[in-house]
A and B are shown apart, each in its own frame.
Chain A
Amino acid sequence: MTETAPRIAVVVFPGSNDDRDAALALESLGAEPVLHWHAEPELPDVGAVVLPGGFSYGDYLRAGAIARFSPAMRAVADFATDGGFVLGICNGFQVLCEAGLLPGVLRPNESLSFVCRDAAVRVERNDVPFLGECEIGQRLTIPVKHGEGCYFADDELLAQLEANGQVVLRYDGESPNGSVDDIAGIVNADGNVMGLMPHPEHAADPLLGSTDGALILKALVERARERLFAAA
């Protein structure tokens, strides 16, 4: 196999609205994004999967609660179990939590207001596939835009997450949503599935005011490249 751009699937649910932004950002960072309709049960041969932001199924019942039953999600779960890299952004994070691929849940913001602004987040770890281009303690400026971004885990689960180092991004300064422990992003126990509320795809070009999000997506593209082409 000759080395070309690594393919990364961006799953499109009814109500996703950041799928194209995510695909554009991934493409600009050297990937070949593939928009994957949620009703398709089989994933193409990809090095990573992105669940984009938006309002899948209108956020009915609970954000992400219905999208988790999409046929594509079974394939995403299998891909994750197999060690594949899965990144959930905003609504994608909500879907991953509802699907049980990430622990905890995202609840309506403490303020009850939709929040749309730049947020500062601090990198807690850089030994997970998504944060390899960042320094520990690095402060990233990435926009948030959500109504249900208040991460919640009960005391027991929270202690477990902290002990395992699964909290990888924390809001630095004022929290936009009231998340416990200022949590902005977490990974699963194996570190190959990550969810975050900020939108790296909206901070991936100087025109957008920040390129900090590109650090996260670039790392994902490189890991996807290794996964697809390392054995070649």
Chain B
Amino acid sequence: MKATVLVRPKPGILDPQGKAVEDSLRHLGFKVEEARVGRLLDLEVDASDPDQARAEVERMCAELLANPLIESYEIELAETG
């Protein structure tokens, strides 16, 4: 089963990378209110059903993929096909 994890800097957390991207976009003439830069992880999870896969990816996020002090995450699941 495929899982996609989106890791984002939490709201209110200063995101210097997002700020740099935002400034560059403005510099190019784009009208951008704000840019935030996160991280995307594509995973292929060995699990028999979506509930098990989600639980497994939740644990991965808690233990390694995101730091709860500064980051939030979202998990999306899709059947492998």
Contact = CB atoms under 8 A, between A and B. Distances in A.
Given A112-B17, A112-B20, A107 B64 contact: no
Given A105-B70, A107-B70, A152-B70, A61 B65 contact: yes
Contacts of A109: 16
B32 interface: no
A111 B14 CA distance: 11
B16 A108 contact: yes
- Majority DSSP secondary structure for residues of A touching B: loop
Contacts of A104: 69
Contacts of A62: 67
A124 interface: no
Contact of A111 (B16, B64, B67, B70): B16
A177 B37 CA distance: 19
A98 interface: yes
Interface residues of B, number: 10
A61 B69 contact: no
Interface in A99-124: 104-105, 107-112
Q: Lowest 10 CB-CB distances: which A-B pairs, in order?
A: A105-B69, A112-B16, A110-B16, A105-B67, A105-B70, A112-B20, A62-B67, A108-B16, A152-B70, A65-B64
A51 B31 CA distance: 46
Contacts of B69: 104-105, 152-154, 157
A177 B23 CA distance: 20
Categorize the interface residue count of chain A: 10 to 19
Contacts of A98: 67
A186 to B, nearest CB: 14
Nearest to A65: B64
A152 B17 CA distance: 16
B14 A110 contact: yes
Contacts of A152: 13, 69-70
B9 to A, nearest CB: 9
Interface in B1-34: 13-14, 16-17, 20
Contacts of B67: 62, 65, 98, 105
A61 B16 CA distance: 17
21 contacts: A61-B65, A62-B67, A65-B64, A65-B67, A69-B64, A98-B67, A105-B69, A105-B70, A107-B70, A108-B17, A110-B14, A110-B16, A111-B16, A112-B16, A152-B13, A152-B69, A153-B69, A154-B69, A157-B69, A178-B14, A178-B16
B57 to A, nearest CB: 15
Interface string A152-170: 1110010000000000000
